[in-house]
């Protein structure tokens, strides 16, 4: 079993930036492709960024060019740098493997508002 602890969310004005972190337990973290997901109120949870175990990345069209996912396997941590934030990025952000193999963490709230 792998557990996730997300952090780094907060309230930011449109155009601002945040860096999210996801600390994972377990030595096998490095074997998995990881993803950042988000869920806005009343909407389903969607994958917005993915990073393979080897480091290749994919992004949803809505965040492409603004968000950057990265990982540090030595620290069992995956990050997401979010720039040029928009009000529609407001959501609770979660991490998990790209196939959602493990229990969700508590997530971290991101609110983009003036």
Are 34 and 92 contacting, i.e. CB atoms less than 8 angstroms apart? no
Give tens-digit pLDDT for 77-90: 999 999 999 999 99
Task: Please say if the pLDDT value at position 113 is more than 90.
Answer: yes
Are 76 and 23 contacting, i.e. CB atoms less than 8 angstroms apart? yes
Give tens-digit pLDDT for 2-44: 899 999 999 999 999 999 999 999 777 788 999 999 999 999 9
Residue 2: the pLDDT is: 87
Give tens-digit pLDDT for 53-66: 999 999 999 999 99
Residue 7: the pLDDT is: 98
Are 26 and 75 contacting, i.e. CB atoms less than 8 angstroms apart? no
């Amino acid at each position: 079993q792998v557990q996730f602890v997300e952090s780094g969310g907060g309230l930011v004005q449109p155009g601002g930036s945040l860096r999210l972190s996801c600390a994972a337990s377990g030595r096998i973290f490095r074997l998995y492709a990881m993803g950042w997901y988000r869920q806005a109120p009343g909407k389903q949870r969607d994958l917005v960024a993915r990073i393979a175990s080897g480091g290749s990345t994919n992004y949803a069209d809505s965040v492409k060019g603004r968000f950057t996912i990265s990982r540090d396997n030595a620290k069992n941590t995956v990050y997401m740098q979010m720039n040029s934030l928009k009000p529609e990025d407001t959501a609770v952000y979660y991490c998990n493997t790209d196939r959602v193999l493990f229990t969700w963490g508590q997530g971290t709230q991101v609110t983009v508002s003036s």
